[in-house]
Amino acid sequence: MTKFVGKSMKKLDGVDKVTGAGTFTSDMVAPGMLFGKILRSPHPHAKVLKVDTHEAEKLLGVKAIIYRGNVPSNTYNSMAAMVMAVPFVKPILDQQIFSEKVRFVGDEVAAVAAISEKIAEAACKLIKVDYEVLPAVFDIKGAMAPDAPEIHDPELTPVGKNILAEFSMPNDAVDKAFEDADVIIEEEFNINIVKHFQLETQAALAVVAPNGKVTVHSTTQSPHSAKAILAKVFHIPASKIRVANPPYVGGAFGVRAGLSAKAEIMAMALSMAVKKPVRVVYSREEDTIASDTRHGAVLHVKLGARMDGKFVALDLKGYTNTGAYASYAAEVQGVLGGMMGTEYKIPAVRYYGHAVYTNCTHAGAMRGFGAPQANFATERVVDMMAEKLGIDAKELREKNIIKAGESWPLPYPCSSSELGECIKRAAESIGWERRGNLNSDSSHIKRGLGMAIGTYVSNAGPTSLTMTMPMWRYNLMVP
Amino acid sequence: MTITVNFRLNGEAVEVSCVPDKMLVDLIRDNLELTGTKIGCREGECGACTVIMNGEAVNSCLIPVAKVMGKEIQTIEGVVDKDKLHPIQEAFIDKGAVQCGFCIPGVIMSAKALLDKNKTPDKDELREAISGNICRCTGYVKIEDAINQASSVMSETIVKGGGDER
Amino acid sequence: MWQEYIFPENIEEAVSILNSSKGTARIIAGGTDLMLDLKAGRHEVLKLVDLSKIKELGKIIEENGMIKIGANVTCSQIVNSDLIQRKALALAQGARKLGSKQIRNMATIAGNVVRAQPAADTAVPLAALGAKLEIVSADGTRTMDILDAYGDSLAKSNINSTSEVLTFLYVPVQEAREGSAYVRLDKRKALALPILNIACKVSLLGDTIKGASIAMGPVGPGPQRAVDAENKLTGNTISQDSIKTAAQLVINQCDPRDSAVRGSRKYRMAVINTLAERTITQAVACAKA
């Protein structure tokens, strides 16, 4: 009956990709194209006192050098957050092309366009930078301490030392609910920073025409927001900028949901300076240290339940390490708080979180965007609760999962859920009934079975969180 | 100083002059403008730059061009037979083994190096052959399925005396 | 990174180039480590000297009770060599674990030894197998025990690739009633450095262990021989108990650091005796086969 639906269709880009004919950003060349390389800070925190490019300029083959003194200094946010923040939230603009301070090892200080990558790299080594090294801090707790170094202008962190965003879902009923709980599990988890390692590193090719029109091909996941951001960074009308993918992008997983770190900016700024196409391709090392990571976090979670297994309260404090710059700091906090416990029907839920600056590489969007951190914390204490109560972990979940029609922390009721069926089928497929009977005492290899459930948002931006409900309010404080 | 290298590339004799400290991957991509071979790390840790040299899969990012003299090099561009996709390429599309595509040329070259020598690898041989290629998108299962499909097509073809009998 | 790339026709020519270049020329083997070292600025070099045209260095042959392996022999060649599989098994097992297939197709075992990493996948088995190295320089030819190739600090080789050439490695043939094995603990099955690796060679006389050699890494600057464990095994009847008892002693010669890449000292000291037990057991099984 249907021609295509329900049939296996061959991927349209399959032939391009299996023959190597598909074009990615680093495959693109333009007539007269130059190569851009970036000079990066070796210090995690320092004032940039002076950038001396004289020696580097003399190197044969060098065509342009940019640094703080000759590029715009508009503040921006490199991610789509800048141009897509929901109405009551103002985007956090804390980046500049080159800042007066460097705030992580790898922070950009200058860039060179030359006739080859080799020459551009050699020129970078000849740029002399005077730094005033400052104390640095890499962990969340240390960064919030009263004597911690101030990483950004205190205007950006009104909530507290290095705290750039606070997200809370307050709920006074939670404390009382814990008093009525028969069993409480309270734990603190440390979540590591994770990196995308998408196979294609950050890259951009920018061409500025004599009439000022800019064409950028890059690895961005979002050409439209990239265009809008670049317009603000360079203070030129967005109508003069075109951003496109080459057509193919070698993976992303969130690392370029906006700009590709500083690849587009550097390529564009160099192209403007030299009036020729410039291609910037990050090395794997640059991509690793100087593009967004997943947020590391400290999660303090408390779950209360009755003896029969019914959850009565869930309280999560989530501190995210957003590194040197904001990127999606506020949004990740929002998703973290929003996703905690939404799989379960819990009468009293509370969230309180801070996004904290440190001198680590800036964190941003990565597959899950706060939900992995939240789901991990919740699911761990659910398992611990199951063990404490002596109730099977699957049964405990089934007892508490949200059902259609019920209310939850989000500002609209749950309209549908097949989670129960998912749990049932998943458990069947792995032989859940074998749990606890998988091992003989004599074997030194032990086997285990477990399960976890997770949830995530799905939406087109600008997104939800625009309503308020009587019981829960959403407070997102940003500068 | 320049170096001149003579070698065979995708079945044709080639002569290129370049700086002596160039790596094979840059010779292929920049001088010869064959951009199918990708650069993922420049450390031999990801396999995106895999090509076949004298029948063996190698990381072209770590090979100085001089080592290529007199050798047979095959890149992803040499896998297709005029307009006909190689069974490996067909299989990768059929099995959904391609997502972003950046690792794919390298994976296909590793697979081809294996299947050209051994048309019916067992699971361990297959996995060993691609264990030097990192893919961040697919989770490898469909890549394995694709290589298995290619293996049965390629060994079938031999038994039936050649020709396209799928 | 270099200005000239030279293929000498024979060993004498190679040595002569190194000698006259006074430290500015360096041997390149497979290049898989050297390219990274040059990029990182670990060496400065004007000339690279590539031995691949020298045919005699590409062979694996059995000669006078020794397996003679040329400097150009790659890890893949070792893995695929029937001779090595039968008569120096631990070396084939080690070579198979190095890097990835692409790396093994280029990397030589000679280069692996000279690079002097403490847990090099071919050097640890070579140490257990009692390999000897032939080094040629302008001063002539000398032979050294593989363990003497390691200096007293990390990755410091006593073989100077700017003035001398490791031409051949000699591995005593595994005779009847002799066996060897290699075991590696790693986070991933490929493209991963070993957390710990151990190689063992045993020779049996009836039901007793006539001799044993056990090499371990990375628990010191170079492969470390577990001499206390070796002595405990020697002369004893083969049994799982005697193997286990001897294996407990390997830590006596272990001094691992805390390493972000290799694991903590505490963890590695806690597990190495189990790995040693497995390696010795496998070597014994190989000897009996």
In terms of domains, do B7 and B74 share one? yes
User: Domain residues for B120?
Assistant: 87-159
pLDDT > 90: what percent of chain A?
84
pLDDT at position A460 is 60
The position carrying tokens 């990755």 is C155
- State pLDDT tens for residues B2-48: 999 999 999 999 999 999 999 999 999 999 999 999 999 999 999 99
pLDDT > 90: what percent of chain C?
96
In terms of domains, do C166 and C190 share one? no
Q: What is the mean pLDDT of residues A61-88?
A: 90
Cβ atoms of residues A337 and A371 within 8 Å = no
pLDDT at position A468 is 35
Buried b (16+ CB within 10 A) or exposed e, B31-40: ebebbbbbbb
Final residue before a domain boundary, out of C139, C172, C205: C172
CB atoms within 10 A of CB C228: 16
CATH number of the domain enclosing C155: 3.30.465.10
Residues in chain B: 166
Q: CA angle, corner C226, sides to C223 and C232, nearest 5?
A: 165
In terms of domains, do C43 and C91 share one? yes
- State pLDDT tens for residues C248-273: 999 999 999 999 888 999 999 999 99
pLDDT at position A465 is 45
pLDDT at position B112 is 98
Residue whose C-alpha is closest to residue B150's, from B98, B114, B101, B99: B114
pLDDT band at A410 (very low <50, low <70, confident <90, very high): confident
Mean pLDDT over each residue of chain C, to the nearest integer: 96
Q: Please check whether residue B118 lies inside any domain of the structure.
A: yes
Look at residue A233 and give its three-state secondary structure: helix
Q: Please check whether residue B121 lies inside any domain of the structure.
A: yes
Cβ atoms of residues A295 and A321 within 8 Å = yes
- For residue C76, what are its two tokens? 């893949």
Distances (CA, A) of A255 to A80, A199, A200, A262: 11, 12, 11, 12
Helix or strand (DSSP H, E) at C76? helix C75-80
pLDDT at position A80 is 87
**B20 preceded by a cis bond (ω within 30 of 0):** no
The domain segmentation of chain A, as residue ranges, is: 142-190+293-432+449-477
**Torsion sign over Cα B67, B68, B71, B73:** positive
CATH number of the domain enclosing B26: 3.10.20.30
In terms of domains, do B64 and B114 share one? no
* CB-count exposure of residue A30 (10 Å: 0-12, 13-18, 19+): middle
Residue A396 has pLDDT above 70, yes or no: yes
In terms of domains, do C105 and C219 share one? no
Interface of C with B in 175-194 (CB under 8 A): 189-191
- State pLDDT tens for residues C58-73: 999 999 999 999 999 9
In terms of domains, do C211 and C156 share one? no
Final residue before a domain boundary, out of B45, B78, B111: B78
The CA distance from A264 to A258, in Å, is 10
Distances (CA, A) of A89 to A83, A156, A334, A369, A475: 11, 14, 11, 18, 10
Q: Given a contact as 3+ CB pairs under 8 Å, which chains touch A?
A: B
In terms of domains, do B133 and B150 share one? yes
Q: Which of B80, B104, B136 sits opposite A17 (nearest CB)?
A: B104
Interface of A with B in 390-429 (CB under 8 A): none
Q: What is the mean pLDDT of residues A352-361?
A: 97
pTM score:
0.95
How many domains does one find in chain C? 2
pLDDT > 70: what percent of chain C?
100
The CA distance from A171 to A152, in Å, is 31
pLDDT at position A222 is 95
pLDDT at position A15 is 97
In terms of domains, do C165 and C203 share one? no
Q: Please check whether residue B126 lies inside any domain of the structure.
A: yes
pLDDT band at A400 (very low <50, low <70, confident <90, very high): very high
Q: Under 8 Å CB-to-CB from C184, ≥6 apart: which residues? A: C94, C97, C121, C194, C196, C197
- For residue A386, what are its two tokens? 């199951």
In terms of domains, do B111 and B70 share one? no
In terms of domains, do C48 and C98 share one? yes
Q: Given a contact as 3+ CB pairs under 8 Å, which chains touch B?
A: A, C
Residues of chain B falling short of pLDDT 50:
163-166
Cβ atoms of residues B147 and B130 within 8 Å = yes
Helix or strand (DSSP H, E) at B156? helix B141-159
Q: Please check whether residue B116 lies inside any domain of the structure.
A: yes
Q: Please check whether residue B165 lies inside any domain of the structure.
A: no
Q: Which of B80, B98, B135 sits opposite A17 (nearest CB)?
A: B98
Q: Which of C1, C50, C103 sits opposite B66 (nearest CB)?
A: C50
CB atoms within 10 A of CB A77: 26
- State pLDDT tens for residues C27-53: 999 999 999 999 999 999 999 999 999
Q: Please check whether residue B65 lies inside any domain of the structure.
A: yes
A235 φ/ψ sector (left φ>0, alpha ψ -120 to 50, else beta): left
Q: Which of B21, B42, B58 sits opposite C1 (nearest CB)?
A: B21
Query: CB B134 to CB C191 under 8 A?
Result: yes
The position carrying tokens 């041997």 is C27
CATH number of the domain enclosing C222: 3.30.390.50
How many domains does one find in chain B? 2
Final residue before a domain boundary, out of B61, B78, B95: B78
Final residue before a domain boundary, out of B78, B101, B131: B78
**C218 preceded by a cis bond (ω within 30 of 0):** yes
Distance from CA of A287 to the nearest CA of B (A): 10
pLDDT at position A84 is 78
In terms of domains, do C55 and C163 share one? yes
Q: What is the mean pLDDT of residues A404-428?
A: 90
In terms of domains, do C21 and C114 share one? yes
Q: Please check whether residue B23 lies inside any domain of the structure.
A: yes
In terms of domains, do C241 and C115 share one? no
pLDDT at position A287 is 98
- Pairing of β A214-218 and β A241-244: parallel
Helix, strand, coil % (nearest 5) of chain C? Answer: 35, 25, 35
User: Domain residues for C89?
Assistant: 4-172
Q: What is the mean pLDDT of residues A140-155?
A: 97
Residues of chain A contacting residue B89, judged by C-beta atoms under 8 Å apart: 15, 18-19
pLDDT at position B166 is 38
Residue whose C-alpha is closest to residue B62's, from B22, B119, B2: B22
In terms of domains, do B69 and B21 share one? yes
What are the E-state strand segments in C190-288? 196-205, 208-217, 224-225
In terms of domains, do C32 and C168 share one? yes
In terms of domains, do B121 and B146 share one? yes
Residues of chain A contacting residue B49, judged by C-beta atoms under 8 Å apart: none
pLDDT at position B75 is 98
In terms of domains, do C158 and C183 share one? no
CB atoms within 10 A of CB C220: 19
pLDDT at position A461 is 52
CATH number of A142-190+293-432+449-477: 3.30.365.10
* CB-count exposure of residue A429 (10 Å: 0-12, 13-18, 19+): exposed
Q: Please check whether residue B164 lies inside any domain of the structure.
A: no
- State pLDDT tens for residues C155-192: 899 999 999 999 999 999 999 999 999 999 999 999 99
In terms of domains, do B47 and B16 share one? yes
Buried b (16+ CB within 10 A) or exposed e, B140-154: bebbbbbbbbbbebb
Query: CB C101 to CB B128 under 8 A?
Result: yes
| ipTM value | 0.95
The CA distance from C111 to C30, in Å, is 7
Residue B39: closest CA among chain A residues belongs to which residue?
Answer: A200
pLDDT band at A463 (very low <50, low <70, confident <90, very high): very low
In terms of domains, do C103 and C233 share one? no
Residue A466 has pLDDT above 70, yes or no: no
In terms of domains, do B71 and B51 share one? yes
Whether chain B has a CB inside 8 Å of the CB on A199: the answer is yes
What are the E-state strand segments in A25-147? 34-40, 46-52, 62-67, 101-102, 108-114, 128-133
Look at residue A164 and give its three-state secondary structure: strand
pLDDT at position A471 is 32
In terms of domains, do B105 and B127 share one? yes
Whether chain C has a CB inside 8 Å of the CB on B12: the answer is no
pLDDT at position A83 is 86
The CA distance from B60 to B42, in Å, is 9
Distances (CA, A) of A230 to A70, A216, C51: 17, 10, 53
Number of Cβ pairs closer than 8 Å across B and C? Answer: 74
pLDDT at position A440 is 87
